[in-house]
Chain A
Amino acid sequence: MASPTSVHDREPARASWFYDPQIRGIIFQVLVAIVLVLVVYWIIGNTTENLRRANISSGFGFLNRRSGFDISQTLIEYSANSTFGRAIMVGLVNTILVAVIGIVTATIIGFIVGVGRLSRNWLIAKICTVYVEVFRNIPPLLVIFFWYLGVLAVLPGARESVDLPFGTYLNNRGFYMPMPVWGEGAWLVPVALVIALAMSFFVARKAHQRQMATGQRFPVLWTSLALIVGLPLIALAAMGFPLTFDMPEQGAFNLVGGFAVKPEFLSLYLALSFYTASFIAEIVRAGILGVSKGQTEAAHALGIRPGPTLRLVVIPQAMRIVIPPLTSQYLNLTKNSSLAVFIGYPDLVQTGQTTMNQTGQAIEVVAIWMLIYLGLSLSTSAFMNWFNAKMALVER
C-alpha cells in the first residue's frame, strides 16, 4: 500500500506552459500583431514606390487647386473655377439632399405599405404584398436604370412636354414646376409660421396637462393645423400677397423659368425611395405583428376605439421593435445613394471620381469617401440610438 504522504510529496500536476490558454493567447496575439505590422509596412513601401514612379505627390494639397469641371446640380455656390475641395463639398451636399428626401419618402411609403399588408381588406393586402415582393428582389441599380433609362429618358423632348396640373411639366430633361418668388414684406410669413409652431406646441402642452388633471380632451390636432396654416395665410394677406410664381414657359429650345428637377436626381430619388420602402414595409409589418394580441384585446376591453388603440397602444410598442432595423435601412439608403455615379448625378462619389481622374490622387479621394460615409453612418446611428433609448421600455 502506498503511503499517503507520497501523494503530498509529489509536485502538483502541471501542464507544459505550451498548453496554458493565457500564454497561448498572448503568443497568438503577438504573432498576429507582427504579421499585421509587416503587411502594413510592405503595403506602405509598395505604395510610396508606386506613387514615386507615377510622379504623384501624396497629400491633400490638391483640394485647394482649381477643379476646372462643371457640376450639373449645385446647391451651394460652385463654378469651374472653384477648388476640388469645393467640388467634393457640392457632392456631399447633393448626397445629403437625396438621402434626406429619400428617407422621408421611403418612410411614408413604407409605413403605408407595411400597414396595408396587414389590412383586413384582401385587395389592399395583396397589392402591398406584390409591391414588397417585387421591389425587395431586384437590385437597386436596376430600379435606378428603370426610372432613368426606361421612363425619364424616353419621355418626349422639351417641345412636346407633358402638361401636368398646377403648371408643372415633365419632359426628358426633367420635371419643371413653378418657383415661388417672394416679394416685399414676405419676411412676415416665416415669422408667422414660427409663432404658429410655438403656439401649437404650447397648446399641445396645456391640453395634455388639462387632460391629465381633469380628463377633458381638447382637439389639439385641428387647432394646431388651423394655427400653422392660418397664421401664415393671415400674414400673407396682411402684406397684400407679396408672392408671385415664376412659371415654366415654352422657350425656343427648352422650357424657360420655373424650378427644374434634373432627371438624374429624380430617378435616383424615386428609385431609392421605392426600393427602400419595400424593406421598411417589412420592418413595420414585423413590428406591428410583434406587439402581442393581448395588448389590442386589453385596449378593446377598456373600451378604447380601434383608431386610438392603434395610435396609443400598438404603435408606441411597435416602434421599439421597428427603430433599430429602421436605422440600418436609413443607413443603407444613404450608402445606396452612391449608386448616383452610374447615372451621373453629382453626388459625393461622382464628384470624387472626377477629382480622382483629374488629379490621380486615388488614395486621398478614397480616404475622404470613407471618412465621410463613416461619419454619416456613425452620426445617424448615434442619433437613432439616442432616439431608441428615449423610446425604450422604461422598466423597474
Chain B
Amino acid sequence: MQQQDLSFVRTELEPARPAPAGDRGFVRWLRVNLFATPLDSVLTVIGLLVVAFTIPPILRWAFIDAVWSGADRTVCATIAQGGIQPDGWSGACWAFVNAKFEQFMYGRYTYSERWRVNLTAIIFIGLLVPLLVPRVPHKFLNAVAFFIVFPIVAFILLVGGWFGLDYVATSLWGGMLVTMVLSFVGISVSLPLGILLALGRRSRLPVVKMLCVAFIETVRGVPLVTVLFMASVMLPLFLPAGMTFDRFLRALVGVALFASAYMAEVVRGGLQAIPKGQYEGADSLGLSYWQSMGLIVLPQALKLVIPGIVNTFIGLFKDTSLVYIIGMFDLLGIVRQNFADANWASAQTPMSGLIFAGFVFWIFCFGMSRYSIYMERRLDTGHRR
C-alpha cells in the first residue's frame, strides 16, 4: 500500500476579508454612535426632531429671509406693519445692525475723533497678539508696554485734552468702546487686587485678615447691581461736597472691586493647593515674605488656577453689560437703546440686535475660554497624576 503523504501547508496568507457590511464605515458609526440600544434610537429620533424643528427655521430666519441693507424700518416690516415685506414674512433685520454699526462700536463718540478709538484699538491688538502667542520673544517688554505704557497712551488718546487732541467727555462714550475699556481696566485691576486680598486673607496678622475676609464676603454676597448702585449713589455722598467722580470712573470702580473679590477666592484656592513644604522651603532659604510669595508660591499657585482666573475674566466681561443700570451704554446697552429708535422699530429689530450683541459677546468669551484651555495645557509641567 502506497503511503500517501498529502499535506497542505499554505504559504501565502489569504487576504483579510472586509468586516461585514453592517460593521464598518458609516453604518458602523451610525450603529455605535446613534443606534446602540433601543433607548439610544429613541433618543436619536428625538434629537433629530429637535434639530429638524430648530435649525432650518433659524437658518431661514437668519440668512435666507434676512434683510441685509436698507434705509429704514420699511425693509424689515410687513405690508400690514407699514413696510414692504409680504405678510407673514419673518426674517432677521440685519439692515438695522448695518445702519447702526458705527453707533454700536463708538456710542456717541465725536464723529471726527473716532480715528482715535480706531488707533487705540490697533495698538491694543498690536500689543495683545504678540503677548498671547508664546513663540514671540521679549515678553517682559511686551507686558510692560501692554500694562503700563498702553493704558497711559489709551487714556490720552481716548479722553483727549492734551497734545492738541479735543476733549471727549466719557458721557459720549458707548458701545463696544465702553465694554472693552471696562473689561480691560477691570481685568488689569482685579487680578493684582485679588492677589493682594487673597494674601491678606491668609495673612497671620489678624487685623489685615479680618478686613480682607469682611470685604471679600460682603462683595461676594451681594449682586453686582447693588454694588453699582452703591458706586453711583453712595460714592457722591461719601465724598466732600464739590468733589465729583466721573460716572464712567464710578462704574469702573464698582466693576473692578466686584471682580477682585471673586478673583481673591480663586487665588486663595491656588494658594491653599500649594504644599506646605514650598512655603517652608522658601523660608529656609531666607527669603522675605514678598520674595517667597513672588518667587516661589504665587507662580505655582497662579498656574494652578488659570481656568478659575479666566472664568472670572469671562464673568467680568459679561458683567460689564450691567453698567446700563447707572446710565452707561455698553454694547448691550446701546443696542437696547436703539430699539427705541422710531426709524427702525419693527417686530424683527429687537431679536436681530440682541443676536448681534450676543454673537459679539459669545466670540470674546468663547475665545477667552479656548485660550485658557490652550494655556493650561502648555503650562502643565506634568506634576499631575
Q: Is the CB of B222 within 8 A of A369?
A: yes
Q: Taking each of A47, A142, A353, which has the highest tally of chain B beta carbons within 10 Å of its own beta carbon?
A: A142
Complex Cα–Cα for A122 and B233 (A): 52
Interface residues of B in 212-250 (CB under 8 A from A): 218, 220-226, 229-230, 233-234, 236-241
Q: Is the CB of B44 within 8 A of A32?
A: no
Q: Is the CB of B223 within 8 A of A335?
A: yes
Kindly identify which residue among A127, A137, A349, A377 contacts B362, using a CB–CB cutoff of 8 Å: A137
Q: Is the CB of A336 within 8 A of B207?
A: no
Q: Chain B contacts of A149 at CB under 8 A? A: 336, 339, 350-351, 354
Complex Cα–Cα for A136 and B237 (A): 37
Q: Is the CB of B361 within 8 A of A142?
A: yes
Complex Cα–Cα for A151 and B50 (A): 19
B383 interface residue per 8 A CB criterion: no
User: Nearest Cβ distance between residue A305 and chain B, in whole angstroms?
Assistant: 13
User: Nearest Cβ distance between residue A319 and chain B, in whole angstroms?
Assistant: 21
Q: Chain B contacts of A49 at CB under 8 A? A: 240-241
Q: Is the CB of B47 within 8 A of A134?
A: no
Q: Is the CB of A141 within 8 A of B221?
A: no
A230 interface residue per 8 A CB criterion: no
Interface residues of A in 18-40 (CB under 8 A from B): 25, 28-29, 32-33, 36
B205 interface residue per 8 A CB criterion: yes
B369 interface residue per 8 A CB criterion: yes
Q: Is the CB of B332 within 8 A of A51?
A: no
Q: Scan A342-384; emit 1 where CB is below 8 A from any B CB, else 0.
A: 1000000100010010000011001001100110011000000
Complex Cα–Cα for A373 and B354 (A): 30
Complex Cα–Cα for A341 and B361 (A): 21
B48 interface residue per 8 A CB criterion: yes
Complex Cα–Cα for A146 and B350 (A): 8
Q: Scan A93-127; emit 1 where CB is below 8 A from any B CB, else 0.
A: 00000000000000000000000000111111001
Q: Chain A contacts of B357 at CB under 8 A? A: 142
Residue on A nearest B203 in the bound complex, by CB: A25
Q: Scan A250-292; emit 1 where CB is below 8 A from any B CB, else 0.
A: 0000000000000000000000000000000000000000000
Q: Scan B317-329; emit 1 where CB is below 8 A from any A CB, else 0.
A: 0110110110000
Q: Chain B contacts of A342 at CB under 8 A? A: 324-325
A43 interface residue per 8 A CB criterion: yes
Q: Is the CB of B33 within 8 A of A145?
A: no
Q: Chain A contacts of B51 at CB under 8 A? A: 123, 127
User: Nearest Cβ distance between residue A395 and chain B, in whole angstroms?
Assistant: 20
Q: Scan B39-52; emit 1 where CB is below 8 A from any A CB, else 0.
A: 01001100110110
Q: Is the CB of A374 within 8 A of B222?
A: yes
Q: Scan B348-385; emit 1 where CB is below 8 A from any A CB, else 0.
A: 10110011011001100110010000000000000000
Kindly identify which residue among A33, A43, A133, A374 contacts B238, using a CB–CB cutoff of 8 Å: A43
Complex Cα–Cα for A363 and B230 (A): 8
Q: Chain A contacts of B347 at CB under 8 A? A: 154
Q: Taking each of A36, A141, A154, A369, which has the highest tally of chain B beta carbons within 10 Å of its own beta carbon?
A: A141
Q: Chain A contacts of B43 at CB under 8 A? A: 119, 121, 123-124
Kindly identify which residue among B32, B230, B238, B322 contacts A339, using a CB–CB cutoff of 8 Å: B322
B34 interface residue per 8 A CB criterion: yes
Q: Is the CB of B358 within 8 A of A378?
A: no
How many residue pairs, one in A and one in B, have C-beta atoms under 8 Å apart?
A: 156
B206 interface residue per 8 A CB criterion: yes
Kindly identify which residue among B48, B207, B241, B362 contacts A138, using a CB–CB cutoff of 8 Å: B362
Kindly identify which residue among B48, B240, B336, B366 contacts A137, using a CB–CB cutoff of 8 Å: B366
Q: Chain B contacts of A139 at CB under 8 A? A: 318-319, 321, 332, 361
Kindly identify which residue among B218, B224, B350, B365 contacts A154, using a CB–CB cutoff of 8 Å: B350
Query: Interface range on chain B: under 10, 10 to 19, 20 to 34, or 35 or more?
Result: 35 or more
Q: Is the CB of A123 within 8 A of B48?
A: yes
Complex Cα–Cα for A366 and B236 (A): 14
Known: A43-B238, A362-B234. A150 touches B354 (CB 8 A): yes
User: Nearest Cβ distance between residue A37 and chain B, in whole angstroms?
Assistant: 11
Known: A25-B205, A36-B211. A137 touches B361 (CB 8 A): yes
Known: A47-B237, A121-B47, A342-B324. A138 touches B225 (CB 8 A): no
Complex Cα–Cα for A32 and B212 (A): 12
Q: Is the CB of A137 within 8 A of B33?
A: no
Kindly identify which residue among B218, B226, B332, B348 contacts A142, using a CB–CB cutoff of 8 Å: B332
Kindly identify which residue among B229, B233, B318, B366 contacts A133, using a CB–CB cutoff of 8 Å: B366
Q: Is the CB of A338 within 8 A of B225?
A: yes
User: Nearest Cβ distance between residue A221 and chain B, in whole angstroms?
Assistant: 18
Complex Cα–Cα for A29 and B222 (A): 28
Q: Is the CB of A154 within 8 A of B205?
A: no
Interface residues of A in 307-348 (CB under 8 A from B): 335-336, 338-339, 341-342
Q: Chain A contacts of B204 at CB under 8 A? A: 25
B197 interface residue per 8 A CB criterion: no
Complex Cα–Cα for A51 and B225 (A): 23
Complex Cα–Cα for A56 and B266 (A): 41
Complex Cα–Cα for A161 and B218 (A): 46
Q: Chain B contacts of A134 at CB under 8 A? A: 362
Show 28 residue pairs from A and B whose CB-CB distance is below 8 angstroms, ordered by the A residue.
A28-B208, A32-B207, A46-B237, A50-B236, A120-B33, A121-B40, A121-B43, A121-B44, A123-B34, A123-B44, A123-B51, A124-B44, A137-B314, A137-B366, A137-B369, A138-B318, A141-B322, A142-B332, A145-B336, A146-B354, A146-B358, A149-B339, A149-B354, A335-B223, A341-B225, A349-B229, A356-B233, A370-B226
Beyond A46-B241, A127-B50, list 18 extra A-B contacts (CB 8 Å).
A25-B204, A25-B205, A28-B208, A33-B207, A46-B240, A50-B236, A124-B47, A138-B358, A141-B321, A142-B332, A142-B354, A149-B354, A150-B350, A154-B351, A339-B322, A342-B325, A349-B229, A374-B221
